[in-house]
Amino acid sequence: MRANRFGRGLRLKSMLPALAIVALVLAVAAARAQTAHSQPPLPFIEPSETHSRTKARVAEANPHATGQWQTLGQTMPINPVHMALMHTGKVLVISGSGNDPNEHTLLAAVWNPATLTVRTFPISWDMFCSGMVVLPDGKPLVLGGTIRYDSPWIGEPRTAEFDPATEKFTNTRKMSGGRWYPTGTVLGDGKVLVYSGLDVGSGNPTVEIGTGQFWSPAGTAFGGVPLYPREHLLPDGRVFEDGANATSQYYDPASRSFTVPPGPTTVLGADRNYGTSVLLPLTKAGGWKPKVMILGGGSGDPPITTATTELIDLAAPSPAWVSGPPMAQPRMQLNATLLPDGKGLVSGGSTTDEITSTAVLEAQLYDPAANSFSSGGTMEFPRLYHSNTLLLPDGRVVAMGGNPERTVYVPQIEIYSPPYLFNADASPAKRPVLDSAPRVAHYRTHFKVRTPDAPNIQAVVAIRAGAVTHAFDMEQRLVELTFVRKAGSLDVLAPARGNLAPPGYYLLFLVDSHGVPSVARFVQITGPEYAAAYPKSKGGKAKAREGTS
């Protein structure tokens, strides 16, 4: 993104005298000219444009084929820029300043989808435009945020973890520099890889690995790294990065470096700004080999949005991007959410960046087995910039937000019920029952899941609880588990290692022969890798952390 976008969307609280306005404009121009020759080109930054928000009619559909969207009577009282599902079943929602430079009441919230209640509370620093992952112990970890808006953007170096039990934040160790729009990835040993984001008006080139209790230097980001890079942990321990840049990258935590030469270039051969990326389900039939799909996005200024998708088999001897099926319409600012039946829900976005009248209301379902899309029903509200979707424990998907105009957002909450929840006559489908499962499962060990539907269970899947923002879920991951049917139970084998399923909390679903999932139970998948990454002090407590909120 070119530097002149930094000035867009500037809001003046009151009219300034004409001479003061001229002086401000000249000062900003001089500052940009001074830094233009000393800083590399800036990555794409979403402008804060002003467009009216419109409401659309819901198109009725056969829910058994398309699923069904429902708008709740409840609304979200803060701009839901960031969302993370916790193992309590509740959702952490972070707004911070909420895309309003004049908002100094910084807020977050906890939303309970079971009771449809929400509690807002103040936070001590601005977590707007941060990264967020969920640590192995189930605590969401916030990475960076915003110190200053616009000219220049200044990123926040602070981090904080949120305790789902007390529902309070505790500040953790600062990173080496500010990060506005960073990406975090939980590695196979439970540590967190973080890089990208703006520091003081320019990209932070450092790579760090840590836990929140500490951060260690871990190399330098590749040239041209985008903001919020899309990346996935692979079963071999490397991290694959695939957007918005056209040339993919591999990061090796062992050598703490990006590999040379880099990965393959996409078929599109251009940036996919605010497209999305999904690590497709890691299945038994596929040998748990990783395949990644990228969808939509835009390139250029103004961006030209694409309906194309691409796939890459990262277990192939020479991985290469190939064209996937096109979406029904071009999409930018879209979301993609994995479902327990292995399909993916693609929703939201617009054909023209941040033009609400071009919002794509039709959702689509991607089937990896058939490599094709089908209709996923029609949303009621435009879901553009700062909108999010998240898989819930009951197998439904929540959609929140949409903030194309600074200071204005979509407060309505929509719930998507996938086709597997309906019979052909639109009545509710009978779901398999998951009576009990252990709270903790260790790598390479067997555990018992009690169910009266054992003879009809066709799949057991573990889906990592999501943490989503800015058209990308930094956490979602589906791993199929092997199992043996017993009388009234299943003997399930936990994943072999952390690189396949990083330590943390997963939604455990049973899927029957009709593709209908149970309501999930949370299981913490863990092993010695996690214990080594998070050492304890002699007193048995975690090492001291700095600050509280």
Question: What does the pLDDT read at residue 61?
Answer: 65
The CATH code of the domain at 440-533 is: 2.60.40.10
Number of alpha carbons in the 13 Å side-chain half-sphere of residue 524: 15
Q: 6-10, 158-162, 247-251, 448-452: which range is least confident on average?
A: 6-10
**What are 278-300's pLDDT values in tens digits?**
999 999 999 999 999 999 999 99
Sorted by where each begins, the domain ranges of the chain are 440-533
Question: Residue 22 pLDDT more than 90?
Answer: no
**What are 443-473's pLDDT values in tens digits?**
999 999 999 999 999 999 999 999 999 999 9
3-state secondary structure of 35: helix
User: Average pLDDT for residues 151-166, to the nearest whole number?
Assistant: 97
What tokens does 127 get?
């977590």
d(CA 487, CA 493): 17
DSSP string, 126-161: --TT-EEEE-TTS-EEEE--EEE-SSS-EEB--EEE
**What are 496-549's pLDDT values in tens digits?**
999 999 999 999 999 999 999 999 999 999 998 787 788 764 333 333 333 333
Question: Residue 117 pLDDT more than 60?
Answer: yes
Question: Residue 17 pLDDT more than 70?
Answer: no
Q: Are 49 and 8 contacting, i.e. CB atoms less than 8 angstroms apart?
A: yes
3-state secondary structure of 288: coil
Question: What does the pLDDT read at residue 531?
Answer: 78
Question: Residue 428 pLDDT more than 70?
Answer: yes
d(CA 287, CA 484): 18
Q: What is the 8-class DSSP label of residue 28?
A: H
Question: What does the pLDDT read at residue 543?
Answer: 38
Question: Residue 11 pLDDT more than 70?
Answer: no
**What are 475-486's pLDDT values in tens digits?**
999 999 999 999
User: Average pLDDT for residues 30-46, to the nearest whole number?
Assistant: 47
d(CA 8, CA 413): 29
DSSP string, 383-410: --TTEEEEE-TTS-EEEEE--SBTTB--
**What are 361-382's pLDDT values in tens digits?**
999 999 999 999 999 999 999 9
**What are 183-210's pLDDT values in tens digits?**
999 999 999 999 999 999 999 999 999 9
Q: Cis before residue 3, ω within 30 degrees of 0?
A: no
User: Average pLDDT for residues 171-177, to the nearest whole number?
Assistant: 97
**Which residues, at least 6 apart from 416, have a Cβ–Cβ distance to it below 8 Å?**
67, 68, 69, 70, 345, 347, 363, 376, 377, 389, 396, 397, 398, 399
**What are 382-413's pLDDT values in tens digits?**
999 999 999 999 999 999 999 999 999 999 99
3-state secondary structure of 419: helix
**Which residues, at least 6 apart from 370, have a Cβ–Cβ distance to it below 8 Å?**
none
Q: Which of 212, 227, 260 is nearest to 153 (CA)?
A: 227
**What are 219-251's pLDDT values in tens digits?**
999 999 999 999 999 999 999 999 999 999 999
Question: What does the pLDDT read at residue 533?
Answer: 81
Question: Residue 46 pLDDT more than 90?
Answer: no
What tokens does 226 get?
């985008």
Question: What does the pLDDT read at residue 57?
Answer: 38
Q: Are 410 and 387 contacting, i.e. CB atoms less than 8 angstroms apart?
A: yes
Strand 457-464 versus strand 446-450 pairing type: unpaired
Tell me how far the alpha carbon of residue 172 is from its chain's centroid: 21
**What are 320-332's pLDDT values in tens digits?**
999 999 999 999 9
Q: Are 212 and 141 contacting, i.e. CB atoms less than 8 angstroms apart?
A: yes
**Which residues, at least 6 apart from 166, have a Cβ–Cβ distance to it below 8 Å?**
none
Question: What does the pLDDT read at residue 536?
Answer: 62
> Average pLDDT, whole number, for the chain?
89
**Which residues, at least 6 apart from 7, have a Cβ–Cβ distance to it below 8 Å?**
28, 150, 151
